């Protein structure tokens, strides 16, 4: 089997992830490049001491979608319409494929902050209390809570499949 060097890369995960290792080559002598991040089925896996996924690409995709919606409707649409569009179009982009990742508490806080920043932009405030009150008023669930709910469904479905 021929390995496509342009599409192949190598990455270490484990306690020696940051140590220099010998160059890995194919049978025909072509070197396989070492990288710090790999994209596999849309999930970005990063070099670390244990299995870890990056949420930076998901956050960028969320901002791209949210700014696209916000740029189209600007101040023409009401806040309810904008928030409904964000719930339907942007939140799934942010949470897509994250069930397979073992997210740390700081990753969940980062996801919450991503949405909090959008609320601050939408309601033109920098006050956290105002932003939280707007989230409660519009019944907008924090992403960390939404993620844990989705994760429980994911684990429940997989456990049922194993039985």
| pLDDT single digits (tens) 88-107 | 888 888 888 777 777 888 88
Q: At 148, which helix (H) or strand (E)?
A: helix 143-162
Residue 43 near residue 53 (C-beta atoms within 8 A): yes
Please state the φ and ψ torsions of residue 58, each to the nearest 5 degrees.
-65, -40
pLDDT of residue 157: 59
**Integer Rg of the chain from CA:** 20
The ranges assigned to domains in the chain are 1-54, 55-142
pLDDT at residue 160 is higher than 60: no
Calculate mean pLDDT across residues 137-150: 80
E strands of the chain, at which residues?
A: 24-25, 31-32, 37-40, 43-46, 52-54
């Amino acid at each position: 089997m021929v390995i496509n060097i342009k599409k192949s890369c190598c990455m270490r995960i484990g306690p020696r992830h940051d140590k220099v290792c010998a160059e890995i080559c194919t049978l025909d002598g072509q070197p396989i490049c070492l990288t710090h991040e790999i994209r596999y089925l849309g999930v970005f896996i990063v070099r670390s001491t244990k299995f870890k996924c990056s949420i930076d690409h998901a956050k960028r995709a969320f901002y791209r979608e949210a700014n696209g919606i916000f740029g189209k409707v600007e101040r023409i649409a009401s806040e309810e319409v904008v928030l409904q569009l964000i719930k339907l179009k942007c939140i799934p982009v942010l949470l897509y494929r994250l069930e397979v990742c073992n997210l740390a508490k700081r990753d969940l806080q980062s996801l919450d902050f991503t949405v909090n920043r959008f609320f601050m932009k939408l309601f033109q405030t920098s006050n956290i209390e105002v932003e939280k009150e707007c989230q409660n008023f519009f019944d907008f669930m924090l992403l960390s809570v939404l993620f844990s709910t989705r994760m429980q469904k994911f684990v429940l479905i997989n456990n049922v499949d194993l039985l």
